[in-house]
């Protein structure tokens, strides 16, 4: 018989079986799901850009060039409506903003999935086709995958996106008993990240877009346009990847500027003939002769 050493084994606490804030299975750590780093630590604590003044200046320069992008107006109005609703509750607000029909969170998530690796026009056609083919999300869940693929084929990657959408709906049905994500409004940003990141195929950019557009949270998604422009104007070190850029910019950019600045940087990356060459933009609607307002901020010229 082996002689014991007298050392006690340290027992690990079992994982709790209780529900998460979403009344579903316990959400996994974001750090280990879909490549999403759950850390909110600043990856570049000694890197001082962008400052609040720089963020405001870039926002104003792009706003003067484009005005506010029309495609994002409905989301901006929804943020204003919620903000003014809160003001009324606080006793400091006046009339509510213009009545705007808000997009459901589930609609927003699926739209973002359909927008991956395709143009805006194609993703919008795919979503419209999907909603035309199926009256409810329950109908989508019960449909044959081939029927969904046919409906969204114009958006590209139909097989992959169908699998992702079916997985979201199936998981949500098992977890919540109904196909609805409105409960996410009541969660913190970190809790939302944990919840959405448990769905297979849902990565950091998709989660951040849902946070900003559909949940009206102060988050700053980093897509290809935002990433390349942020590097070009020196807001992150040259060696930064997209995840570290996301973490850094969310630490540095003031919350009240995040929404407008993100929409404008995205738009500028698509439309500026100079910046679109860096980001692979296909829509060059700004004249080649019109000076890019961001050139003066660049540290790479």
Catalytic residue selected from 193, 205, 217, 231: 205
Residues making up the chain, counted from first to last: 301
Torsion angle of the four alpha carbons 83, 109, 210, 197, in this order, in degrees rounded to the nearest 10: 140
| Total Cβ atoms within 10 A of residue 105 | 20
How far is residue 196's CA from residue 198's CA, in Å, rounded to a whole number? 5
How far, rounded to the nearest angstrom, does the alpha carbon of residue 171 sit from its chain's CA centroid?
20
Instruction: Report the distance separating Cα 284 and Cα 261, nearest Å.
Output: 20
Distance, in Å, from the CA atom of 266 to the CA atom of 249, rounded to the nearest integer, reads 14
Q: Go through 126-155 and write b for each residue having 16 or more CB atoms within 10 A of its CB, e for each that does not.
A: bbebbbeebeebeebbebeeeebbebbbbb
97 φ, ψ to 5°? -65, 170
**Is 205 an annotated catalytic residue?**
yes
Take residue 245 and report the two structure tokens written for it.
């850029």
Spatial CB neighbours of 147, under 8 Å, sequence gap ≥ 6: 133
Catalytic positions: 205
């Amino acid at each position: 018989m082996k002689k014991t050493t007298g050392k006690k084994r340290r027992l690990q606490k079992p994982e709790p079986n209780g529900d998460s804030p979403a009344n579903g299975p316990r959400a996994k750590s974001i750090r280990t799901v879909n490549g999403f780093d759950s850390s909110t630590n600043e990856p570049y604590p000694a890197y001082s850009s962008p400052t609040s003044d720089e963020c405001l200046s870039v926002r104003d320069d792009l706003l003067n060039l484009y005005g506010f992008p029309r495609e994002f107006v409905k989301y901006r109005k929804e943020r204003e409506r919620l903000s003014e609703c809160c003001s009324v509750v606080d006793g400091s607000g006046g009339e509510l903003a213009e009545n705007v029909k808000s997009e459901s969170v589930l609609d927003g998530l699926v739209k973002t999935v359909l927008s991956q690796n395709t143009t805006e026009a194609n993703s919008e056609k795919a979503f419209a086709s999907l909603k035309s083919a199926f009256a409810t999300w329950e109908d989508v869940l019960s449909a044959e995958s081939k029927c969904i693929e046919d409906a969204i084929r114009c958006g590209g990657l139909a097989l992959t996106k169908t699998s992702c959408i079916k997985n979201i709906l199936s998981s949500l049905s098992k977890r919540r008993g109904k196909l609805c994500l409105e409960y996410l409004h009541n969660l913190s940003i970190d809790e939302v990240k944990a919840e959405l990141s448990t769905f297979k195929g849902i990565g950091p950019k998709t989660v951040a877009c849902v946070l900003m557009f559909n949940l009206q949270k102060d988050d700053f998604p980093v897509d290809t346009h935002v990433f390349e422009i942020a590097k070009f104007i020196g807001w992150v070190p040259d060696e930064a990847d997209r995840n570290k850029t996301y973490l850094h910019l969310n630490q540095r950019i003031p919350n009240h500027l995040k929404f407008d600045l993100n929409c404008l940087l995205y738009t500028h990356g698509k439309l500026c003939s100079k910046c679109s060459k860096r980001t692979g933009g296909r829509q060059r609607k700004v004249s080649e002769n019109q000076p890019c307002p961001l050139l003066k901020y660049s540290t790479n010229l």
